Amino acid sequence: MKSFFHVSDIGPLDAALKEALEVKANPFGWKHLGENKTIILVFFNSSLRTRLSSQKAALNLGMNPIVLNVNGDSWKLETELGVVMDGDRSEHLREAIPVIGSYCDIIGVRSFAGLTDKEFDYAETVLQQFVEYSGKPVISLESATVHPCQAFADLITIEEYRRTKRPKVVLTWAPHPRALPQAVPNSFAEWMNAADVDLVIAQPEGYELDPQFAGNARIEYDQMKALEGADFVYAKNWSSVKDYGKVLCKDTSWTVDAAHMAVTNDAYFMHCLPVRRNVIVSDEVIDSPRSLVIPEAANRVFSAQVVMKRMLESL
Ligand code: SN0
């Protein structure tokens, strides 16, 4: 596998899921693959799960993980080409990336959407420079438009907990005080569209996801109606695509609480974390036995491990 951004990069999902469950059952079974191999994980933004699960996945495969926190430990990096670098950014990606590439075999990059320039974000300008200038396989650890390691872990979790062959999965927008990227809902929708599930996206007007990710999902503007009979409720806030990066709605009636869960088919609750309690979801729902947020986060190790395993196998 050359890079990991989209569901198409992983090939048939049945095989990927089977492999994830094999890796989960035997996490150290492929430890020889990573011997004398190095992965560099570059973080332009904060992280808890991605940072730890990626390192754990690399260690399970016998690899050496090195973490670089840009803006903290390194020089501040310029990401735009053609600018006069007389500000506070000391080094350009054009030099930093090939240097990083010369020290490792695989690169993981976290680089959130800036949410000001849609064209810059949706061209995945930062991630594409890593592909172009490093010469190494690149994993998106949440980049401007996608978070594939999360979506793969979500799919593994749904596979483990589903009670029917084709569960109803509802991705519901929920309120948040800040403008957040679309990467998590984009990838979740992309992966659920590719999987054998009935996907419904519930959102207020103006929150339509880019069609390349929303695909053929049913869109519902009445959240309660969308939730009826759901087997899985996946809550997430995102900012508007149309009115790029803007918060258009703060309606707290969209916060997922017990009344929302009551109309579902005794659904499981999911969220990628970090989550704002009593903003996105009530304490009662996230603390209930139907909440999968912890097993979902635990599966982040195995989604990352399958991706790294396949990259190591094709080096
Ligand atoms: C990120 C996002 O894309 O929504 C990362 C999710 C994995 N979330 C946040 O930035 C939340 C920040 C906050 O203040 O709650």
* Atom 9 of ligand 1, nearest CA residue: 180
- Pick from 112, 141, 147, 180 the residue to mutate for probing ligand 1's pocket: most ligand atoms within 8 Å of its CB: 180
In whole angstroms, give the CA distance from residue 202 to residue 194. 19
Residue nearest to atom 3 of ligand 1 (CA): 181
Q: Per the confidence metrics, is the pTM higher than 0.85?
A: yes
Share above pLDDT 70 across residues of the chain, in percent, rounded to a whole number = 100
**What is d(CA 208, CA 188) in angstroms, rounded to the nearest whole number?**
14
pLDDT digits (tens, 9 = 90+) for 226-254: 999 999 999 999 999 999 999 999 999 99
CA atoms of 178 and 124, how far apart (whole Å): 22
Residue 71 has pLDDT above 90, yes or no: no
On the question of pLDDT at 74 being above 90, the answer is no
Query: Residues 128-154: pLDDT tens digits?
Result: 999 999 999 999 999 999 999 999 999
Distance 180 CA to ligand 1 centre (A): 6
198: burial class by Cβ within 10 Å (0-12, 13-18, 19+)? middle
pLDDT tens per residue across span 17-53: 999 999 999 999 999 999 999 999 999 999 999 999 9
pLDDT at 257: 98
